[in-house]
Amino acid sequence: MAKQKAKRKGMNPVLILLMVILLGIFLFSGYKLLSTVSEYRKSEKEYEELRKLSDADEEAGSHVLTPEEVAAGKIACPVSVDFDALKEINDEVIGWIYIKDVDISYPIVQGEDNDYYLHRTFRKTYNFAGSIFMDYENASDFSDPNTILYGHNMKNDSMFGKLDELVEKEKDVEEPYFWILVPGADYCYQMFGMQRVDPFDEVYTLFHGRDETFVRYAEKCAADSSVELPAVQFAPDSRIITLSTCTNDSKARFVVQGVLAGVVRHTGNGSGSADAAGSPAETGSDADNPSSDSTADEYSEFVTENE
C-alpha cells in the first residue's frame, strides 16, 4: 500500500504539463466560441434594427421581373428606405443593397479608406462582421463605370454570406436582378457575371474614363462567368456594380457583377417613375460627370484586403 501511494505522489510531470496545456486550449477555444457567437448576435441585432427603417412591398416582392418589363421601364423596387433616419445614425451612408433571391438587405457606407468599415458596423462599433461598403476610390453616387462593394462572407450567412448561393441556385434564381437604393432613386441591375477570382484579378479595375477599354473589360467579365446568365450588350456609358466577398480560400474571392438596367426616380410624395437604362441621364455619361476624363484609357486598380 505504501508503495502505491508513493507512485501516486510521483505522477509524471510531463503528463501534468500536458493536461494543463490541453485544459488551457479547451478554455481558450470556449472563450473564442462564446466571443464569436456574441459578435454574431450583436451584429444581427444591429442590422435587424436598421431594417426597421426600410419597408417591404409584398406585392412587388412576389412579382418576378422579366427582361421585357425592365426594358420598358415597368419596374418597382420591393423595398423602400428612410435615408433621413439612416443619415442621423451615420452620415456616411450612401445607399442600400437588396438582392431578393438570397435575402440580402443592408445599408451601404463609404469610408475614407477600405479599412475602417472592414470590421466596423453601420453604427461604427467594432465587430468582425463589419459593413457593406463601397471602395473609397469610387464616386459615392454610383456613377463610375465600375463600382465595387465589399462585404464579409459570414458563417451565419449575414452580410454577403449568402452571395455564393446564387451559383448553387443557378437555375432556380427567380430573376437575375438586384437593387441599389439611393436618396431619390432606385437602381435596378441585371446580373451578368459570377465567378471566383484571384485577389488581384482585373475584375477589380477602376476606370478613369469611358471608352472601348471599359467595354472590352465588361465583355470579358461576362464571358468568364461560371454561371450562364442572360446576354448583355455593353456600351462605354454602361454602369457596373461588382459585389465582392471572401471565400474559404484566402487566395480567392467570389464576385457577382451587374449592369444598370433601369432606374426608378422618386418624387416628393414618395411615388416613382421608372425608366430603362440607356440614356446619358440614366447611365452617368461623361456629360453628367464633369470629373470624368473621357479621353483617358488608363485605369487604376484596388484590391480588397484579405478578409
The pLDDT of residue 35 is: 55
The pLDDT of residue 304 is: 31
- Tell me which residue of 102, 107, 109, 100 sits closest to 57, measured CA to CA: 100
User: Per-residue pLDDT tens for 132-168?
Assistant: 999 999 999 999 999 999 999 988 888 999 998 888 7
H runs (alpha helix) in 52-82: 58-62, 67-72
The pLDDT of residue 170 is: 58
Q: For residue 110, give the C-alpha cell.
A: 463609404
Burial class (CB in 10 A: 0-12, 13-18, 19+), 232: buried
The pLDDT of residue 252 is: 93
Which residues in the chain land under pLDDT 50?
1, 269-270, 279-307
- DSSP track, 167-214: HHTTTT-S-SEEEEEETTEEEEEEEEEEEEE-TT-GGGEEESS-SHHH
The pLDDT of residue 36 is: 56
Q: How far apart are the first and last CA of the chain?
A: 61
The pLDDT of residue 269 is: 43
The pLDDT of residue 272 is: 62
The pLDDT of residue 151 is: 95
Query: Domains of the chain by range and CATH?
Result: 53-301 (2.40.260.10)
Report yes or no on whether pTM surpasses 0.85. no
